[in-house]
Amino acid sequence: MPRRTRLIIPDVPLHIIQRGNNRLPCFFAEADYLVYLDMLRLCAQQAGCRVHAYVLMTNHVHLLVSPQSCSSPAVMMKMLGERYVPYVNRRRNRTGTLWQGRYHSCLVQDARYLFVCQRYIELNPVRAGMVDHPLDYRWSSYQTNAYGEADNIVEPHALYEALGTERPERELRYRALFEEEMPWSMLEQVRYATNRNAVFGSEEFIERLAITRGTDVMPRRRGRCRD
């Protein structure tokens, strides 16, 4: 079966997930997380991707970016792979691939879908049972988006900036988003769209994209997909 063409539109947010090969770890020590984040910062800048949210899990990563061009995400991920994989192989005295095939992605409609996706990303360690609250997990953008912790990677989306006129007000309103439990159906929508390189948005948004592109942008469901 041929691969689905990636749906990428300049300046429209894209949720990216990349898993470790066979779901094995891709981070082994604190230094690995720090190196990856530094590489992410450089590669995102050079490729033209604005990073709004991220989380580095033990065996996969989630990124939410707005690309300047249709090629920006692929360039960023290629550059990351060319830097991070050799780094890990040298440190761990290993060879071969680190990541499980191609990364997966989905377009994210603005408005409520953007914040749902950010919450989905930053709550990943909580759902995995690693921490009780996203603030307790070091390797994510939550501390920056919710409390203003300095981070040279995160660039807030315009919708985040619109949460308030001053930074404390924006952070307070952002934290309030996490007080509401995310419906399971919404979690499934994010997973389904991302794993199939599709779209996370309203039916109207999806239909408009399909008309514009002249093709169906959502694959048929064939059972549950896992995060």
Q: Give a yes or no: residue 227 inside a domain.
A: no
DSSP calls for 82-111:
HHHHHHHHHHHT--S--B-SS-EEEEE-ST
Number of domains in the chain: 1
Q: Give a yes or no: residue 220 inside a domain.
A: no
pLDDT of residue 111: 75
Q: Give a yes or no: residue 4 inside a domain.
A: no
Q: Which of 116, 141, 122 is nearest to 193 (CA)?
A: 116
Evaluate if residue 99 carries a pLDDT over 70: yes
Q: Which domain holds residue 208?
A: 14-212
Greater confidence (183 vs 125) lies with 125
Type and span of the H or E element at 74: helix 72-92
DSSP calls for 136-174:
G-SSBSHHHHHH----SSB---HHHHTT-SSHHHHHHHH
Evaluate if residue 209 carries a pLDDT over 90: no
Q: Give a yes or no: residue 6 inside a domain.
A: no
Among residues of the chain, what percentage have pLDDT more than 70? 91
Tell me the HSE value of 178 on the side-chain side, using a 13 A CA sphere: 22
> 206 falls in which pLDDT band (50, 70, 90)?
confident
pLDDT tens-digit map of 101-123:
889 999 998 877 999 999 999 99
Q: Taking phi first (over 0 means left), then psi (-120 to 50 degrees means alpha), and beta for anything else, what does residue 15 get?
A: beta
Q: Give a yes or no: residue 222 inside a domain.
A: no
Mean pLDDT of 49-54: 98
Q: Give a yes or no: residue 119 inside a domain.
A: yes
Amino acid letter, residue 201: G
Q: Give a yes or no: residue 225 inside a domain.
A: no
Domain containing residue 152: CATH number: 3.30.70.1290
Q: Give a yes or no: residue 9 inside a domain.
A: no
Kindly report the pTM of this predicted structure: 0.90
